[in-house]
C-alpha cells in the first residue's frame, strides 16, 4: 500500500465518525417530544434584549413581544443599549421597554453586556420567575412567551432553548439555504442531541432560564460563542438545556455575499475556536465520570458545518474509485446519510416550497464558503461584537 492510498483510506475511515453521528442523531430526532408541564402557571417573565446599534429593528422586536398572546401584566421588556452610538435607546423607550445603557470600550460584546445587567440590576430580576433572552433583530412568534412559560413551569426544566428560524426564506438562495440549514442545525440536531445525551445546546437567541439560574451564574462566558460555552458550563453542573420547538423566534438573513460572509465567518470561526478549547476538558470529564453525555457533547460540538461535510464527502467520493468497490460503497453511504439528514430536517420543520426548490443552489453555497474556511485557517476571524448589516441598511 502506498502512502497516498494509506492517507486516502484513513480519510474515509475518519469520515465514518461524523456520518455515523449524523445518522444516529437523525433517527433519534424522530423520537423527540417536548416535555409538557402539568399546567402552565403564566410565569412572570423578564424579556432581556442585548442591543448594539439596532435602531432600525429594535422597535419591531419589542412590538413582536408586546403583541403576543401572553398576559401583559406577566412580562416586562428590558433592553441593554450596549456601547451604542445611534438611537437604539431612544427608540426602545418609545416602544415601551425599560432601557439600560452601558458604555465600556474595553469589555465589548454580548456576553459582557448580559453579565453586566445580571450583576448590576438584580432588583429587576427579583420580580420575575424566568428570564427570556432574545436578540435585538428578531421577531418572536405570538406564542413565544406562552411556550417559554409552559416549558419553565415544568419543575424539571430550568433552562430551555427555542427554535431559531429565518424570517425571509423567500428573499433569495442564501436565506433559503440558511433556512434549510437552520431546520437541521436548530431543530433536528437539537432534538437528536436531547434524545441521545439528555441536553440540547443554547443558541444565544430565544433562550429561557428560571431566574435563580442566572442569579447564581450571571453570564460567565464572554467569547463570540458564549452561548455554547455556557451550555458546557451548565453540563458540568448537571443542568440540562431542554428544547421547545414550538417556541419560535425568527431572524432576517442577509442576501448579499459580503454581509453574509462576515456573519458566517464570525459564527463558524467562533465554533472552531471552542472545539479547540473544549476537547480536552470534555474528554477529561468523560474519563473521570464515565458518563457518555460528555462524549455526545463533544461530538455535537465537533461535527463540521454541513457545507464542510459536503466538501469532505466530495473528496472521499473522488478518492474512492482509486481504492476499490468497497470504498466506493462507503462513499455512497456518506451521501445517503447526508441526504437523509438534510431531508429529515425539512420534513420535521415543514419547510416551505421555496426552501426545497432553492436546495438546488446548494453547490453555489458550498463554493461561496470555501474562501471563508480558508480565512479561518489563517486566522482571519473577527472576535468582537459587530452588528451585521441588514437588508434595510442597504436600501
The per-residue pLDDT for 175 is: 87
pLDDT at 13 over 60: yes
Average pLDDT in the 66-90 region? Answer: 96
Give yes or no: residues 17 and 84 share one domain. Answer: no
Is residue 394 in a domain? no
The domain tally of the chain equals 2
Q: Is residue 222 part of a domain?
A: yes
pTM above 0.75, yes or no: yes
| Least trusted range by pLDDT, from 59-68, 184-193, 290-299 | 290-299
- Per the domain annotation, does 38 fall within a domain? no
Residue 395 has pLDDT above 60, yes or no: no
Of 213, 228, 256, which residue is a domain's last? 256
Range of the domain at 147: 45-188+197-256
- The pLDDT tens digits of the residues spanning 268-279 come to 656 677 777 778
Q: What is the CATH number of the domain that holds 223?
A: 3.90.550.10
Mean pLDDT, the chain, as a whole number? 87
Q: Strands 242-251 and 159-166, how do they pair?
A: parallel
Average pLDDT on 371-388 reads 55
Report the C-alpha gap between 188 and 209 in whole angstroms: 22
Asked if 29 and 348 touch (Cβ cutoff 8 Å), the reply is yes
CA distance 176 to 355: 5
pLDDT tops 60 at residue 389: no
Give residues with Cβ within 8 angstroms of 319, minimum separation 6: 8, 11, 12, 327, 331
- Classify residue 119: in a domain, yes or no: yes
pLDDT value for 265: 55
- Residue 92 pairs in a beta bridge with none
Same domain, 208 and 277: no
Q: Is 281 found in the same domain as 252?
A: no
Range with the largest mean pLDDT of 21-25, 176-180, 380-384: 21-25
Residues 115 and 149 in one domain: yes
Q: What mean pLDDT is predicted for residues 341-345?
A: 96
At residue 47, what are phi and psi to the nearest 5 degrees? -95, 110
What is the percent of the chain where pLDDT is above 90? 59
Shared-domain flag, residues 374 and 236: no
Task: Summarize pLDDT for 233-283 with one digit per residue, the tens.
Answer: 898 888 999 999 999 999 988 765 555 555 555 556 566 777 777 788 889
Residues 213, 361, single domain; the answer is no
Q: Cα–Cα distance between 291 and 289 in angstroms, integer?
A: 5
Q: Indicate if 228 and 323 belong to the same structural domain.
A: no
Judgement on whether residues 148 and 211 belong to the same structural domain of the protein:
yes
pLDDT above 80 for 220 = yes
- Give the Cα separation of 19 and 313 in Å (integer): 9
For the ranges 166-175, 294-303, 346-355, 368-377, the lowest mean pLDDT is seen at 368-377
Tell me: do 144 and 96 sit in the same domain.
yes
Does 265 fall in a domain? no
Alpha-carbon gap, residue 97 to 280, rounded angstroms: 43
CA quadruple 218, 302, 235, 247: dihedral positive or negative?
positive
What local confidence, expressed as pLDDT, does residue 370 receive? 64
The beta-strand segments (E) located in 228-384 are: 242-251
Q: Which three cell numbers stand for residue 163?
A: 427554535
| d(C-alpha 271, C-alpha 220), whole Å | 17
Same domain, 239 and 281: no
Q: Is residue 293 part of a domain?
A: yes
Q: How far apart are CA 202 and CA 76, in angstroms?
A: 22
Mean pLDDT lowest among 179-183, 361-365, 382-386:
382-386
* Residue 13 falls inside a structural domain: yes
Instruction: List phi, psi (to 5°) of 95.
Output: -85, -5
61: in domain: yes
Select from 93, 97, 96, 102 the least CA-distant residue to 120: 102
The grid coordinates listed for 395 are 436600501
The per-residue pLDDT for 251 is 92
- How high is the pLDDT of residue 392? 44
**Domain identity same for 202 and 180:** yes
Give the mean model confidence (pLDDT) for residues 96-113: 93
Residues 243 and 107 in one domain: yes
CA distance 320 to 331: 7
Q: Is the pLDDT of residue 393 over 50?
A: no
Amino acid at each position: 500500500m502506498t502512502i497516498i492510498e494509506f492517507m486516502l483510506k484513513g480519510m474515509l475511515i475518519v469520515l465514518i465518525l461524523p456520518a455515523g453521528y449524523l445518522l444516529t442523531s437523525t433517527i433519534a430526532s424522530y423520537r423527540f417530544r417536548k416535555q409538557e408541564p402539568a399546567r402552565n402557571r403564566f410565569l412572570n417573565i423578564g424579556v432581556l434584549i442585548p442591543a448594539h446599534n439596532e435602531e432600525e429593528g429594535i422597535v419591531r422586536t419589542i412590538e413582536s413581544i408586546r403583541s403576543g398572546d401572553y398576559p401583559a401584566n406577566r412580562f416586562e421588556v428590558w433592553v441593554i443599549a450596549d456601547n451604542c452610538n445611534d438611537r437604539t435607546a431612544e427608540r426602545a423607550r418609545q416602544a415601551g421597554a425599560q432601557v439600560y445603557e452601558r458604555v465600556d470600550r474595553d469589555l465589548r460584546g454580548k456576553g459582557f453586556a448580559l453579565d453586566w445587567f445580571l450583576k448590576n440590576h438584580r432588583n429587576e430580576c427579583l420580580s420575575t420567575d424566568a428570564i427570556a433572552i432574545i436578540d435585538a433583530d428578531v421577531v418572536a412568534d405570538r406564542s413565544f412567551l406562552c411556550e417559554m412559560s409552559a416549558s419553565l413551569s415544568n419543575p424539571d426544566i430550568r433552562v430551555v432553548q427555542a427554535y431559531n428560524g429565518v424570517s425571509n426564506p423567500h428573499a433569495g438562495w442564501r436565506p433559503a439555504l440558511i433556512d434549510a440549514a437552520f431546520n437541521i442545525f436548530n431543530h433536528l440536531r437539537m432534538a437528536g442531541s436531547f434524545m441521545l445525551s439528555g441536553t440540547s445546546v443554547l443558541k444565544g437567541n430565544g433562550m429561557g432560564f428560571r431566574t435563580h439560574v442566572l442569579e447564581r451564574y450571571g453570564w460567565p462566558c464572554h467569547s463570540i460563542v458564549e452561548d455554547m460555552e455556557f451550555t458546557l458550563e451548565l453540563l458540568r453542573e448537571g443542568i440540562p438545556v431542554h428544547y421547545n420547538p414550538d417556541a419560535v423566534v425568527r431572524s432576517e438573513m442577509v442576501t448579499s455575499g459580503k454581509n453574509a460572509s462576515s456573519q458566517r465567518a464570525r459564527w463558524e470561526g467562533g465554533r472552531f475556536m471552542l472545539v479547540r478549547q473544549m476537547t480536552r476538558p470534555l474528554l477529561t470529564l468523560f474519563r473521570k465520570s464515565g458518563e457518555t453525555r460528555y462524549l455526545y457533547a463533544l461530538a455535537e460540538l465537533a461535527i463540521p458545518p454541513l457545507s464542510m461535510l459536503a466538501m469532505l464527502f466530495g473528496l472521499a467520493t473522488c478518492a474512492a474509485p482509486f481504492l476499490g468497490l468497497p470504498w466506493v460503497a462507503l462513499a455512497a453511504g456518506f451521501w445517503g446519510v447526508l441526504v437523509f439528514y438534510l431531508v429529515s430536517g425539512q420534513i420535521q420543520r415543514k419547510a416551505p416550497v421555496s426552501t426545497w426548490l432553492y436546495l438546488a443552489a446548494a453547490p453555489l453555497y458550498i463554493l461561496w464558503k470555501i474562501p471563508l474556511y480558508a480565512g479561518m485557517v489563517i486566522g482571519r476571524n473577527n472576535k468582537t461584537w459587530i452588528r451585521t448589516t441588514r437588508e434595510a441598511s442597504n436600501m
